[in-house]
């Protein structure tokens, strides 16, 4: 049995079209993915509708000049789509799960039988969210793109504090796109060894080289037979 899980990322790739979202799921299956991941939020649950510069993107990303609320309003996956998207994914033989950004999203995903919770890089310091998601007893997958070692340790300890030992840490470079020179794939094995958990990659680089090389990184799973995760790009 393979010890690798390849996760396709829906993110905002649906471009506001349910048809495109469904076709993306089918394309992920044809491409050989094991799972597809969504993101569950609304503009109002993730940020404030504020027009000062603190809420305007200016970090050299693809979205520079946009206000956060406007970006998330364009990019979010409508909650009324989720049930159908989960159904289509299951029919295609894919595991469907999502990234929540607040407690209401966790509650909503629980109503859909969401089997895995993914924590985005920028939420790794949202300890109440991690604790609440981990308390559901589902596998936890946590990106580490902006995290210090102390942040990662606290996130892992928070999962364990509610009895959740099924933790995967993803090496992530939170740039959009991330330069291949900054992929630092050796961190995959370091995360697995240092924290005693499964580890994988959340890839923001262009092309497929980084993801392919990650498959051959050593120590991606500290437990034989346990799956590590190789994820495609998150936009958050």
Digits of tens for pLDDT over the chain (236 positions)?
A: 357 899 999 989 999 999 999 999 999 999 999 999 999 999 999 999 999 999 999 877 778 999 999 999 999 999 999 999 999 999 999 999 999 999 999 999 999 999 999 999 999 999 999 999 999 999 999 999 889 999 999 999 999 999 999 999 999 887 777 878 888 888 999 999 999 999 999 988 788 888 888 887 654 444 433 334 555 444 33
63 burial (CB, 10 Å; 0-12 / 13-18 / 19+) is middle
At residue 36, the pLDDT reads: 97
Which 3 state secondary structure label does DSSP give 61? coil
The answer to whether 210 and 201 are in contact (CB under 8 A) is yes
User: What values do phi and psi take at 231, rounded to 5?
Assistant: -110, 150
Cα–Cα dist 150/171, whole Å: 15
Residue 229, pLDDT score = 52
Q: Where are the domains of the chain?
A: 4-41+76-231
Q: With CA atoms as reference, report the closest residue to 147 among 184, 180, 118, 122.
A: 122
pLDDT for residue 173 = 82
CA atoms of 95 and 8, how far apart (whole Å): 10
Q: Which CATH class is domain 4-41+76-231?
A: alpha beta
Reading the block at residue 92, the tokens are: 């295609």
Task: Provide the whole-model pTM.
Answer: 0.88
CA distances from 227 to 1, 10, 151, 161, 230 (A): 10, 21, 23, 22, 10
pLDDT of residue 161: 98
User: CA 135 to CA 143: how far, in whole Å?
Assistant: 18
Among 33, 12, 50, which residue's Cα sits nearest to residue 95? 33
Residues whose CB falls within 8 Å of the CB of residue 35, separated by 6 or more in sequence, listed in order: 5, 6, 7, 8, 94, 95, 96, 97, 116
* Predicted pLDDT at 139: 97
pLDDT given for residue 165 in this prediction: 97
Token pair belonging to 124:
């790794």
Q: What is the pLDDT of residue 230?
A: 52
């Amino acid at each position: 049995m393979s010890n690798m899980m390849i996760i396709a990322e829906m993110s905002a790739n649906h471009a506001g079209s349910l048809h495109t979202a469904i076709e993306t799921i089918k394309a992920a299956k044809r491409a050989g993915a094991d799972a597809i991941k969504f993101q569950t939020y609304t503009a109002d649950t993730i940020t404030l509708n504020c027009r000062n510069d603190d809420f305007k993107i200016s970090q050299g990303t693809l979205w520079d000049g946009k206000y956060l609320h406007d970006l998330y309003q364009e990019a979010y996956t409508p909650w009324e789509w989720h049930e159908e998207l989960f159904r289509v994914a299951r029919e295609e033989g894919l595991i469907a799960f999502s990234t929540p950004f607040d407690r209401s999203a966790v509650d909503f995903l629980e109503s859909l039988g969401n089997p895995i919770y993914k924590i985005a890089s920028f939420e790794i310091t949202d300890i109440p969210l991690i604790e609440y998601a981990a308390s559901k007893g589902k596998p936890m997958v946590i990106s580490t793109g902006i995290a210090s070692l102390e942040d990662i340790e606290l996130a892992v300890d928070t999962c364990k504090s509610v009895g959740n030992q099924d933790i995967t840490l993803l090496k992530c470079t939170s740039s959009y796109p991330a330069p291949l020179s900054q992929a630092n794939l050796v961190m995959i094995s370091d995360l697995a060894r240092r924290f005693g958990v499964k580890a994988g990659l959340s890839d923001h680089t262009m092309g497929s080289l980084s993801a392919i090389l990650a498959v051959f990184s050593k120590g991606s799973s500290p437990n034989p037979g346990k799956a590590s995760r190789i994820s495609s790009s998150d936009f958050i």
